Structure 1
Amino acid sequence: MHTYIGVDIGTTSTKTLLYDDNVNIMASTTDFYPLLNNLPDMAEERPDEIFNAVLSGIKTVLNEGKVDSKGVAAVSFSVQQHSLMAVDGDGNPLTNLLTWADNRSEKIVSNLKRDNPALAKELYTRTGVPTHPMAPIFKLKWLKEASPEIFKAAKYWVGIKEYILFRLFGEWISDYSVSSSTGFLNLKNLDWDPIALNWVGITKEQLPRLTSSTDSITGLKPEFASELGLDSQTPFVLGASDGALSNVGVGAITDDTLAVSIGTSAAIRSIVDHPLIDEKGRVYCYPLIPNKKWIIGGPINNGGVIFRWLRDRIFDDLKEKNLDIDLYDYLTGLAGDVPAGANGLIFLPYLEGERAPIWDANARGSFFGLNESHSRKEMTRAVLEGIIYNIYSVMLSMREVTGNIDNIMATGGFARSELWCQMMADIFEANVKVPEAFESGTLAAVILAKISLGEAEDLSEVKKHIGAVKTYAPNPDSFPRYRELMDIFISVTRNLSDDFQSISDYQRKYQNL
């Protein structure tokens, strides 16, 4: 029996799943690692901890699945986007891994937008990557100024998957999907972009070799083949970014279908047949399958992390009492007792700055419309609605670029909440469908492996494996309330743009971190 291993390398953990030949889950495990954020705007990880998590995950699922490791047909990857690290000529790390959440290049970005908006727009048009500190192009520019000795010593600039594959195989290689999120890949010719390279001051020889998401690499180093129990010729399929594969894994593979994912962060995406650029720079566009499929969408900083803040900061008294209840369920229950619209209370969910659609690392959160009648119940409802309002505003930007979008597929931890799914249906005024398959990233990675091996023709193969789908129909009674509040939400966000800058500067100056 052939088996497949899907490895999902996320921001705070790596999930590893073992699948049988019919793409049924046989074993799974999750390995966690810390996010280092002891300095303002810093969000780093230790690359070797992630590498060890990948090794541990593969060994664990093979052991728990009780299968012959020699029967593994392929290992395939889903991986976090926008990561960056410097390595020397031998592949030794010169820095930690800077994640998408690292905002220390914010001044680089704001200065570029202010001093050379034409170049900022040209870089976006050429690469499809919005002008924001998440992108490695701006992180690298910041490192060049902040740590010139590291910039000079660096032989290569890579992301976490490239580092892992180099450790395992001794070759610097990357797929187009992940590489496109760096800000260095030209969207049209799918090669490293000379204008982006020249602006930062590096050469294409310092970046990995480019290849397709369905290509594979073999020749696992003997020490790792022995440790993992795998044949050295087991193909490791490049796979793609976690964002793109989240779409594939729920069957959202046509341009009339959106995939919405809310975990710690959030995202909304659609797969299209040709590259699309937003004249206002509000959404990204990356290749998934070269010359066949592109992905357009917006990543959102403030997803489930806001719900966690609500639990830990606003309801900290309940947390300290250590009650024998699930506080997330309790908070959802409170929100369910409040009518749609939270009795006129709006929450701007920008606690972590924001990417799409406003692309402002200085954005900050606030309650708007707060009066003496509001309690923690309304605040809870407003927080949950605010997250969905923000996602909806990204959808409005996408619709201007792609046209009508008829279907919404929901995934991520929030999709387990009936209240959140119903809120989304009511705010979007559309059916929201939740597939049974929650591990969409590794499922999609395995589908790419099957395509690579010639066992599947194209991405539509995934629809055989996503299981049953639950549909949430919108409630028309909620439409008028949400339409009014959505207009206010967008207006307040726009009007606070300059004040976001001022308050974030104040916080950096005086906050005791």
Structure 2
Amino acid sequence: LAEQEPQVLARAICVLEPKDYLNSCLTGRAASDRVSMARLADAAMKCTDGRSLFDIAGLEKRLMPPLLSPLDTVGEVQAGLGGALGRLAGRPVLAMANDTWTAVVGLGAMRAGAAYNISGTTEVLGLLAGKLAAAEGLLTVDWGNGLSQIGGPSQCGGDTLLWLLDLLGAEATRPEAAIERLMARKRDSQPLLFVPYLQGERVPYWDPALRGAFLGLNRRHGPQDLAAAALEGIAFLNRSVLEAAESAAGVRAEEIRLGGGGARSHAWCSVKASVLGRDVVVPDVEEAGLLGGAVSAWTALGAFADLSAAQSELVRVARRHAPDPLLKAGYDRLYVLFRQAEGAIAPVCRALAAAGPLGVAAP
């Protein structure tokens, strides 16, 4: 914005998330929360040379809004707002946080030692620790109340499965049903590996040039083998993120709280349980973020002593998927091959990503 429309930036009071802008319209106060703005707040801090990233980029510190705890009150709804909003005058408006934070509350995983997996268009996996911990390629964010989150978003997930289902000509209006049908079919005795980096990868590699691959294809492999390998490959990436987070934090999560559209697939839940080697727990909620917002609001209003008590009371479990011991042993062996494979093919993937179309002269 500073480069393309400096006149707009010159008039800006501060930078806000969409929720914060709506809160400012309701209350007349511009503020945000420390979780959503964590990276911007880091950019405003001075480095060892006495300058911040704001200074280096030539940005003014006034662009940083006041930062609150997610459960802090921004203000009260102003009087004189039109329509139904007029009836809310005087009601408190909370700062809250981003969608991942509220979803983790809605999954009942906002506590030290808990791990979560939000399985949507892409996967998000993280571990909650009672101390700040860092690992290469993972994001560490102070989530308040003595908790830090280590993990982050991948670039593969449900969208990867939709790509595969479309490629296989499978009905994808209800992808979980298509996956269940494919996973019910008998697989070939030879395992198949899938490296799921179709659009590059975020955690833990942050490399836009990585690409995907099926490895070990034989003439007998069918659609069910491709589907199973895709589910497993995404779960293997989750495992690499979880292992790095646990090693950095010095804690092992006893279970994984799972939400998002991917949680509807019982087959994928079972794969994840066996790949990760621990129970995958699916709470009884379709939209964990909405429940997390309600749980947080009740806590902020004093209905519960803290988020832990509120989660215990309001978050209920629908299903628990335990690891299959035999599958876990097999997945442990495949995981070693997966890690070897992704490293081995990375240089080729980067070269292909940089290559131009065939039949066109190189510049």
**TM over 0.5: same fold?**
yes
The 3 A distance-change label for structure 1 pair 200 and 510 is farther
Partner of 1:299: 153
CA distance in 2, matches of 1:226, 1:362: 50
For each residue in 1:192-235, what CA deviation from the matched residue of structure 2 results, as whole angstroms up to 9, or x when unmatched?
41322223321221121111111123343556453435322111
1:475 to 313, 324, 330: 324
1:111-510 equivalences in 2 (<5 Å): 144=2, 147=4, 149=6, 153=10, 155=12, 156-180=14-38, 183-186=39-42, 192-194=44-46, 195-222=52-79, 224-278=81-135, 281-289=136-144, 292-315=146-169, 326=174, 328-339=176-187, 343-403=190-250, 404-460=252-308, 461-506=310-355
- 8 Å CA contact 2:176–2:262 kept in 1: the answer is no
TM (norm. structure 1) is 0.63
CA 1:369–1:458 in structure 2 vs 1: closer, same or farther (change >3 Å)? same
4+ residue stretches of structure 1 with deviation over 6 A?
Answer: 507-511
Report the 3-state secondary structure (helix = DSSP H, G, I; strand = E; otherwise coil) of the residue aligned with 1:489. Answer: helix
Determine the structure 1 residue equivalent to 2:49. Answer: none
* Alpha-carbon distance change, 509 to 355 in structure 1, aligned in 2, over 3 angstroms: farther
Shift of 1:335: 2.3
Output the amino acid matched with 2:113.
Answer: D
TM-score by length of 2: 0.87
CA contact (8 A) 2:138 2:150 kept: yes
Matched-pair contact (CA < 8 Å) for 1:342–1:381: no
SS at match of 1:432: strand
Structure 2 counterparts to residues 46-65 of structure 1, below 5 A? none
Equivalent-residue separation in structure 2 for 1:205 and 1:250 (angstroms): 36
User: What is the CA–CA distance in structure 2 between the aligned matches of 1:478 and 1:223, rounded to whole Å?
Assistant: 62
Q: For residue 352 of structure 1, what is the amino acid of its counterpart?
A: Q
Partner of 1:178: helix, strand, or coil? coil
Matched residue type, 1:383: A
Alignment check: 8 A CA contact 1:311 1:328 kept: no
Query: Secondary structure at the residue paired with 1:363?
Result: coil
Instruction: State the Cα distance separating 1:326 from its structure 2 match.
Output: 4.5
CA offsets 1:370-417 (integer angstroms, 9 cap, x no match) = 222222221111111111111111111112112222222221122222
Cα 1:299–1:326 change in 2 (3 A) is closer
Q: How far apart are the structure 2 equivalents of 1:500 and 1:165? A: 45
CA change 1:481–1:154 in 2 (3 A) is: farther
CA gap 1:205/1:444 in 2 versus in 1, 3 angstroms: same
> Is residue 295–residue 314 contact of structure 2 (8 Å, CA) maintained in 1?
no
Q: Does the CA-based 8 Å contact 2:26-2:78 persist in structure 1?
A: yes
Post-superposition Cα deviations, 1:418-477, rounded to whole Å, max 9, x if no partner, equal 111111111112122222133221222222222222222111111111123422121111
Name the aligned partner's letter for residue 350 of structure 1: Y
| Equivalent pair of 2:20/2:95 in contact (CA under 8 Å) | no
- The alignment partner of 1:445 has SS state of helix
SS in 1 for 2:55: helix
Query: Aligned with 2:256: secondary structure?
Result: strand
Paired with 1:411 and 1:396, the residues of 2 have a C-alpha distance of: 20
Query: CA 1:327–1:253 in structure 2 vs 1: closer, same or farther (change >3 Å)?
Result: closer
SS in 2 for 1:158: coil
Unaligned runs of 5+ residues in structure 1 are: 1-142, 320-324
Secondary structure, aligned partner of 1:450: helix
- 3-state SS of 1:218 partner: strand
SS of equivalent to 1:268: strand
CA distance in 2, matches of 1:304, 1:192: 35
Contact 1:338 1:381 in 2 (8 A): no
Mapped partners of 2:161, 2:80: distance in 1: 44
Aligned CA distance change for structure 1 residues 148 and 419 (closer, same or farther; 3 Å): same
Distance 1:432 1:331, change over 3 A: closer
Q: 1:152 to 1:502 in 2, by over 3 A?
A: farther
AA aligned to 2:41 is L
Aligned residues of 1:192 and 1:204 also touching (Cα < 8 A):
yes
1:337-388 deviation per Cα after TM superposition (whole angstroms, max 9, x unaligned): 244x983211111123211122212222221222222222211111111111
* Counterpart residue identity of residue 302, structure 1: C
Aligned length: 352
Question: CA 1:332/1:149 → structure 2, altered by over 3 Å: closer, same or farther?
Answer: same
Contact 2:270 2:323 in 1 (8 A): yes
Change over 3 Å in CA distance of 1:362–1:172 after alignment to 2: farther
